[in-house]
A = this chain, B = another copy of it.
Amino acid sequence: MTFDLVLVGFGHVAQRFVTLLDETRETLARDFDVSTRVVAVTTHRHGRAYAAGGVAPQALVECHRRGEAIGRDDLDLSTSDFIRASADRGGAAKEGHLVVVETTTLDIAKGQPAIDHVRAALASGAHVITANKGPAAFAYHALAGAAADAGRRFLFEGAVMDGIPIFNLVRETLPAVRIDGFRGVVNSTTNYMLTAMEGGQTFDRALAEMQAAGIAEADASLDTDGWDAAAKTAALANVMLDARLTPHDVDRQGITAATGPQAVAARRAGRRLKLVAAAARQNGRVAARVAPEELPADDLLARLEGQQNAIVLRTDLVGEVAIVQRGSGLTQTAYALLSDLVAIAREISARSDARRARV
């Protein structure tokens, strides 16, 4: 089947996503009968493009690199209206073959405007895949409900662990298992910084390095104040523990210049200071927190260096299961979007078997 894609946001992740689609074209066609074309792109500062027959993604990437606007279509519409208009134009939405790819940046105040984008897309008959933490962190249950009502999917595998299929893992491979809680290291910037600070590096210097490497968020306080980790924690808790949290409900402590000496002292004592994200059911509610924790050296989380992330799930039937991502980056996040797309294709393919049989 051919998916028509509407790209909402066209930063590094979306650009890598379209080049990855190109690189994996043969595999997607052969193994999953999936092909794609980008019919619309909307950006914050680089214009908009719509083309029913598909736009050439590589040309868009080049254009964006040169700093030129990718197009000037429908600039008078709000982004949500542009999503609706794009969905109305072709027949793909009606057939369930339209996918909105949401990759705008996280707004930690309310998760907007991404949540509105997701709502507009679902209401227009599009599936949504997103690497944005906001929608699942602020409005998971409402959006999952809207998706179910619309008969469409709302997937966000890239929101927490880049390419590591943490949500898919629980949904597809641990049936009948109850998740009782989790703990993990989920923010690369602070993990790098803590390692550097253990070695005597200053907070400012360590942060500057992460910014120079393009790993820190554009607004680095989202990393250092623990907001990124809190958003991921809320998303995980909402999905896995059936919680109703926003990032503001997560008991949150970030890292500061004062954290440096603590990290040095921990290391001297044979321990490691890590920014740990955790949530668990407690007295009928879900308690979630993000804070620096001194961990014994043999704790799995203590051994994570740099961009390595991990989540340890506590379950009723299989005890503790940990999944560790030993490298992260753009390709991994773009892959998460690709794996969401394949998940949608697999479901459609099961349903269309049913539809074909009915005819």
A interface residues (Cβ-Cβ under 8 A, vs B): 20, 24, 27-28, 31-32, 162-165, 168-169, 172-177, 298, 300, 303, 305, 312, 317-329, 331-332, 335, 338-339, 342-343, 346, 350-351, 353-358
Contact = CB atoms under 8 A, between A and B. Distances in A.
Given A298-B303, A318-B331, A354-B354, 7 more contacts: A24-B176, A163-B318, A173-B339, A303-B303, A312-B326, A322-B324, A358-B358
A205 B317 CA distance: 32
B164 A169 contact: no
Contacts of A169: 165, 169, 173
A342 B168 contact: no
Contacts of A342: 175-176
15 contacts: A31-B175, A163-B318, A165-B173, A168-B172, A175-B339, A175-B342, A176-B342, A312-B326, A318-B332, A318-B335, A321-B325, A322-B326, A324-B324, A353-B353, A357-B358
Counted per complex, copies of this chain come to 2
Contacts of A321: 163-164, 323-326
A324 B169 CA distance: 13
In the complex, the 3 A-B pairs of residues with the closest C-beta atoms, listed nearest first: A319-B327, A165-B173, A163-B318
A168 B173 contact: yes
A319 B308 CA distance: 11
Contacts of A162: 318
Contacts of A355: 357
A164 B335 contact: no
Nearest to A174: B165
Contacts of A303: 298, 300, 303
Contacts of A357: 354-355, 357-358
B323 A323 contact: yes
Contacts of A28: 176
Contacts of A168: 172-173
Contacts of A326: 300, 312, 319-322
Nearest to A350: B350
Contact of A332 (B319, B335, B351): B319
Contact of A174 (B176, B327, B339, B353): B339
Contacts of A27: 176
A31 B298 CA distance: 37
A168 B305 CA distance: 28
Contacts of A322: 322-324, 326
A40 to B, nearest CB: 24
Nearest to A341: B175
Contact of A324 (B300, B351, B354): B300
Nearest to A336: B318
A355 to B, nearest CB: 7
A173 B169 CA distance: 6
A27 B316 CA distance: 13
A151 to B, nearest CB: 14
